[in-house]
Amino acid sequence: MLLHPVNLFSQQSDAESDPIADANMARRAGDFKSSIAILENALKAIDNKTTDLYIVDLQLELAMSYHYANHYSKALGALLEAETVLQTLNAPAHTGQMHNHIGSLFQTFGELDKAALRYQLALQSFREINHEKNQAQCFNNLAVLALDGENPQLALAYLDSSMVLWQSLGEKHWQALTSIHRGSAYLQQNAPERALQHFETARLFFREHKDDISYSILLCKLGETESALGNHQNALKLCEEGLGVAQRVGFLRIQRDCCNCLYNSNVFLGNSKRALNYITLELMLRDSIQSEEKAKEVVRLEMSHAFRQKLVTDSLAFVQQIEIEKSEVARQDAELRARRNQQYGLSGGLFLAVIFAGVVYNRYRIIERQKEIIERQKKLVDDRNAMVTESIQYARRLQRAILPQQSQFEELFPKSFLIYRPRDIVAGDFFWVHQSGNTVLFAVADCTGHGVPAAMVSVICCNALKQSIHQFPEANPAQLLNMVREAVIQTFAQSEREMNEGMDISLCALNGNQLLWAGSNRPLYVFRGDQFIEFKGDRQPVGNAPIQQPYGLHQHEVQPGDRIYLFSDGFSDQFGGEYGKKFKTAHFKAMLLEIQSQSMSAQAVHMNRVFDEWKGSRSQLDDVCVMGVEVG
């Protein structure tokens, strides 16, 4: 949950009263209605002198106020209005704020992966302009997201990053908020003594600075901490005060949490009647929250492509029904006209013709209106599709910023090639290269899944490689894989369900003529002329597995001119050819042997051509990554 937005950037400094500041102050006081009214009036008052960036500021602030007031559809509408303006501007700061707000919406709906991606995109935008204040806010948002996912260790890492920035900026209010999050993380780790230290630090600030939303959260957390420490009288006092503040601002979830704490402490102290009152109130609040969740589900469906597509389909079906009804009405009116013609003659027939024309014209207007609705809904679907595609494009930029650059690989290995063909916009396959003294490490990895989820796993695995080699620069490939496996397992260990995310990898370390290698479900090929050596990897992933053994280390002495090949399974698993079968590993080996007389660059051209011809008009099945290195 986002506690507060950071103030935005392009405020109209010449105005006597700043509506953004006024709205922000009202929102912090829990007066969401006033905050919304201030911003809506400011938008109505814009003229041709108002800058586009200021309009975006108003829309983003309005989206936040709508969000706090649980008007999720309106919040989304304001964000889309802001996005429309931002598409014509080069404004990374505002683009980052937009991603922040959309991430907050996703977080509200419980879609934590999508929220994390949006927050990372926001962080990337703010890093482009070195905006420390908003970078710190992104770290806070990611920390709250980690807490929602019950990963306190990750949350504390993000909070350490944000606190450094808030302290350097002198932001006392945000330091206090960060202290609340730190306390919550330690509370999740069953360390109430450490949690209490951070909550008391925040309490010193909020006693003197009005922020009812944050203060209600703090009082509730303090009460839960005192209860965990066995100080139930203190817990009652704190949670009763927190409940009153939360009721004043309409914060249902904090009211529920305070009631839960008050129930538990009263039960412990033997106050059965008061305990019954609080458990009854807690159940009522849970019902209210459940109703709110149902409303959220409707909005979540509105945001999904499938639901929007269904709207269009239903509208088309409705128009078809109208056309059927039109035909039926026409047939019935024709029969009626024939009967009345017989009874009343030409004058009656003329009258019925006029009636029929009116009915047809009325139906025509209905159909035209429905066509307009369909066009608007089709445009809505197209706009949302474009938004999804743009988000994935941002994810690709983020992934490329974190993973190594191909130019870095080519600089270290002049006689080499790299074939990298993602199936989707973003990929689960990745290559990695790193120089440590006289040793160059290089790898090809294949992460679990496809598309955006696999790309997120690839970022986690790549960061684990970087951290491991940074901490232990002398580690060999097998030792590195053991450390990376532990890091990957630890990252996903806090999930509510068992997650077997990870990667298969082929990892080399080359120092002079000494080649060290370790592999997880992937082999290594070495060619010396027409001689071929294959090293087979361990049959276990770099990730969670029922049986985990240390990875084996292979040593090999290479000579100048030897060629080393690392690859994922995307090439050999591709369906194609005359009979639509897999390319297969044996075919892949034969192809490599066939092209050994060619230069490395010519090999890459040949392999790309073979892949395209084999695939033909079929869809690409998986990401493809092939690395070839000639020893110098």
Find the mean pLDDT for residues 367-384. 65
512, pLDDT greater than 80: yes
pLDDT of residue 234: 93
pTM (global) more than 0.85: no
Tokens of 57: 């500021």
Let me know how long the chain is.
632
Lowest mean pLDDT among 23-37, 127-141, 374-388: 374-388
Q: How close are the terminal C-alpha atoms of the chain, in Å? A: 55
pLDDT tens digits, one per residue of 101-112? 888 888 877 788
Give which of 611, 539, 540, 538 is closest to 575, Cα–Cα: 611
**What is the average pLDDT across 482-502?**
78
The pLDDT of residue 28 is above 50: yes
> Which residues, 6 or more positions from 285, have their beta carbon under 8 angstroms from its beta carbon?
252, 255, 256, 259
519: its two tokens:
């592999």
pLDDT tens per residue across span 585-616: 999 999 999 999 999 999 999 999 999 999 99
How sure is the predictor about 422, in pLDDT bands with cuts at 50, 70 and 90? very high
The confidence band for 271, taking pLDDT boundaries of 50, 70 and 90, is confident
> Domain 403-630 falls in which CATH fold?
Phosphatase 2c; domain 1 (3.60.40)
Banded pLDDT at 312 (limits 50, 70, 90):
very low
Q: Flag whether pLDDT at 366 surpasses 50.
A: yes
What per-residue confidence (pLDDT) applies to 11?
39
pLDDT-based confidence at residue 574 (cuts at 50, 70, 90):
very high
Query: What is the C-alpha to C-alpha distance for residues 3 and 296, in angstroms, rounded to an integer?
Result: 19
- Please give the pLDDT value at position 67: 84
- Residue 146 in tokens: 């980690």
CB 612 within 8 A of CB 572: no
User: Do residues 233 and 271 touch, judged by C-beta distance below 8 A?
Assistant: no
What would the pLDDT profile of 129-182 be if each residue is shown by its tens digit?
A: 999 999 999 999 999 999 988 899 999 999 999 999 999 999 999 999 999 999
CA distance 328 to 529: 80
Assigned CATH for 211-303: 1.25.40.10
pLDDT over threshold 60, residue 302: no
CA quadruple 21, 27, 30, 35: dihedral sign = positive
Q: Give me the amino acid identity at 278.
A: Y
Q: What number is the average pLDDT over the span 425-439?
A: 91
pLDDT, tens only, 521-542? 999 999 998 889 999 999 999 9
- Which of 361 and 612 is assigned the larger pLDDT? 612
Residue 630 has pLDDT above 70, yes or no: yes
Distance CA 20, CA 13 (A): 11
| pLDDT, the chain, mean | 82
Rounded Cα gap, residues 485 and 464, in angstroms: 8
**Ramachandran region, residue 79 (left: φ > 0; alpha: ψ -120 to 50; beta: rest):** alpha
| Residue 340 clears pLDDT 70, i.e. is over it | no
Q: Does domain 131-204 have CATH number 3.40.50.1820?
A: no
- Tokens 């009626």 identify what position? 336
Is the C-alpha dihedral spanning 109, 487, 160, 494 positive or negative?
positive
> Which H helix or E strand runs over 624?
strand 624-630
The answer, yes or no, to whether residue 357 has pLDDT greater than 70, is no
Q: Does the pLDDT at position 432 exceed 90?
A: yes
Per-residue pLDDT at 293 exceeds 70? no
Which CATH architecture does the domain made up of 1-6+17-128 adopt?
Alpha Horseshoe (1.25)
Averaged over 479-494, what is the pLDDT? Answer: 87
Which contiguous run of DSSP H or E holds residue 543? strand 542-543
Distance CA 130, CA 135 (A): 8
| Mean of pLDDT values over 200-222 | 90
Cβ pair 502, 488 in contact under 8 A: yes
Instruction: Indicate the pLDDT class of residue 306, thresholds 50, 70 and 90.
Output: very low
Average pLDDT of 223-239? 93
Measure the CA–CA gap between 375 and 381, rounded to whole angstroms. 10
Report d(CA 507, CA 431) in Å as an integer.
10
The counts of H helices and E strands in the chain are: 20, 13
Euclidean distance between CA atoms 409 and 389, whole angstroms: 29
